[in-house]
Amino acid sequence: MRREEKQRNHGMTEMKTRQVEQMTPEFEADVEELISHYPVSKRSASLPLLHHWQNHFGFVDDTGIEWIAAKLDLTPINILELLTFYPWFRREAAGKTIIRVCRTLACAMAGSYDVKEKFCEAVGLDPHVEHHGFGSAPPTTPDGKFSVEFVECLACCGSAPVALIGDDLVENIKPSDVPAIVKNLK
């Protein structure tokens, strides 16, 4: 993926990329198939296309916003609004392994704040850095291997605290379990 220099844009760091140049015929066929599920309004395919783009490229750059908007006969602002509203989407690359710790009531009561702090310490991140989504990547280690963030409910309240590590759900995490979990990820 071609990357150019980072520049400041309204106080946010934005990485300039040309993801659209990296699309394959298979990727475009997948997009057409996704859109076909929404025959009444292509606009309804906005979220599935954003997920598909981010799953493929790791984040959504300006060319992705423009391409998705054009594909759905929308304006780029319609896609940017979704991208910056939903905290799962990013406009910047996150770490290769993303550790998402649930922070809603059951997990918080069971110790998720301590668990997140231990994950941050175990991978070398400042546990006090706040992250609120809105298109930005979660705190990421300098080597790009790990990102750690809080997320809302992971729907496993009965086995709190929980974390989603990559695509794997880890339940009943004790702060003392974290170093071994991270060691297995390295």
pLDDT given for residue 110 in this prediction: 97
Distance CA 186, CA 126 (A): 19
Give the model confidence (pLDDT) of 25-35 as tens digits.
999 999 999 99
Q: Where in the chain is the domain with CATH 1.10.10?
A: 3-85
Give the model confidence (pLDDT) of 94-105 as tens digits.
999 999 999 999
- What is the CATH architecture assignment of 3-85? Orthogonal Bundle (1.10)
The CATH code of domain 97-185 reads: 3.40.30.10
What's the whole-model pTM score? 0.76
In the chain, % of residues over pLDDT 70: 89
Q: Residue 12 has which token pair? A: 């946010």
Give the model confidence (pLDDT) of 34-66 as tens digits.
999 998 999 999 999 999 999 999 999 999 999
